[in-house]
Amino acid sequence: MDFEKARYNMIEQQVRPWEVLDQDVLDLLAEIHREDFVPAAYQRVALADASIPLGHDEVTMTPKLEARLLQSLLVGPDDRVLEIGTGCGYLTALLAKSARAVVSVDLYPDFTDSARDKLAAHAIDNVTLATGDAANGWPDTAPYDAIAVTGSVPVLTAAFQSQLTIGGRLFVIVGESPVMEARLVTRIGEREWASESLFETDLPALVGAPKRQTFTL
């Protein structure tokens, strides 16, 4: 398989048409090879417009969604980033190449173990991997300049945005299938945040995420 041709097509036919025009993001997608991170059985479809199974009923984001996340967060070289949901480690690598440091947390130890090996193979050494429940953030090493939540949440609580620095950004997908929206939340003061609706999408829920309260008679 010609991965370079497939990568070019991914960027030009999937990512650019989805309003990802930041050249730094596009260059990063060309530099970091997605097929090196997905499970071996799915390498040939690593650059397709599809979510890839990872085990534990988890899947990756699609490449265009990963690209929109990166473009929205505007991660800079001095930023400390929290990634909630390490998954296969590909988005972790993209964030790490953009940031000063990344803390990435996953519920499943085999995901963090696998990501550690893949990141080391790419000489990426500014990531701290942790195994645990980060459905309400990871306050132990807060605050963060950017937070990326890789699973959807039915309802957005104050937990994530309270762990941002002033000026920090949170990318999160909120709602229940099939109607969800990606949001960018920016902390603009000690008790003040601004929220921007980015686009509609559908993504499996983050394990353990708070659910919307329902009432029965």
**pLDDT computed for residue 211 by the predictor:** 78
How far is Cα 213 from Cα 97, in angstroms, rounded to an integer? 39
**pLDDT computed for residue 130 by the predictor:** 98
Indicate the pTM of the whole model. Answer: 0.94
**pLDDT computed for residue 213 by the predictor:** 63
How far is Cα 148 from Cα 139, in angstroms, rounded to an integer? 14
What CATH number belongs to 3-201?
A: 3.40.50.150
Lookup: tokens for 147: 């937070």
CA distances from 83 to 8, 146, 194, 213 (A): 27, 9, 20, 26
**pLDDT computed for residue 215 by the predictor:** 47
Q: Over the Cα atoms of the chain, what is R_g?
A: 16
Ramachandran class of 170: left when φ > 0, alpha when ψ lies in -120 to 50, beta otherwise? beta
For the chain, what are the domain ranges?
3-201
Closest CA to 79 of 161, 169, 139: 169
**How would you class 168 by CB atoms within 10 Å of its CB: exposed for 0-12, middle for 13-18, buried for 19 or more?**
buried
Say how far residue 63 (Cα) sits from the centre of its chain.
Answer: 11
How high is the mean pLDDT in each 10-residue block of the chain (217 residues)?
Answer: 95 97 97 97 96 96 97 97 98 98 98 97 98 95 97 93 97 93 97 96 89 58
